Structure 1
């Protein structure tokens, strides 16, 4: 099982573009992120709509950073979400969410026994 830190490192190294990486490490982003979390009481806003209290793990851009860089630090474009809801949000937005494909085989246990007992 990989740790969250390792997952973040992998994403930063191989998937995130360099401009985004610089942005997400900036003081301006950290300030906007904290403001959004405080505004949302550090709770996932999608879970609240479903009457569940779940701590927010991240702040999501409603309009994507890559398409709307001018809204990157606008508080109205930021939404506090838990990891699960954030992953669902990106799955619904058209980005491919990779799910591992596994071949499942039914396993049967054949036992030999006294036919009179069965």
Structure 2
């Protein structure tokens, strides 16, 4: 996975992100499709940034999502829960922050 942190801090991304959130009325689009009204706090690349860098700032490739939906869309980023069995019947749940949330 390429390092994308600098991109997410760029002025171009911040402007594009704001436009998409406004377009989507700050609502999570996947939740809205399931008739749920949930505020969006992230903007998701439908076609991943690493795979299609030419679509990085294309609003047609972006959708507003809530943190929960974004974590489901990107389990590879370590934002999902990881269970660790410590003894039979007991599980410790660890959750790590998605690096795109800052």
TM-score of the superposed pair, with normalisation by structure 1: 0.66
Change in CA separation of 1:51 and 1:73 when aligned onto 2, cut-off 3 Å: same
Unpaired segments ≥5 residues, structure 2: 91-102
Distance 1:96 1:59 in 2: 15
Report the structure, 1 or 2, having the larger helix content.
Answer: 1
What is the SS of the residue equivalent to 1:100? Answer: strand
Unpaired segments ≥5 residues, structure 1: 1-14, 108-118
How many residues align? The count is 88
What is the match of residue 75 of structure 1?
59
Work out which of the two has the higher radius of gyration on C-alpha atoms and give 1 or 2. Answer: 1
Change in CA separation of 1:106 and 1:42 when aligned onto 2, cut-off 3 Å: closer
Q: Deviation of residue 103 (structure 1)?
A: 3.8
What is the match of residue 88 of structure 2?
105
Q: Aligned ranges for residues 30-41 of structure 1 at < 5 Å?
A: 30-41=14-25
Report the structure, 1 or 2, having the larger strand content.
Answer: 2
Aligned-residue CA RMSD in angstroms? 2.2
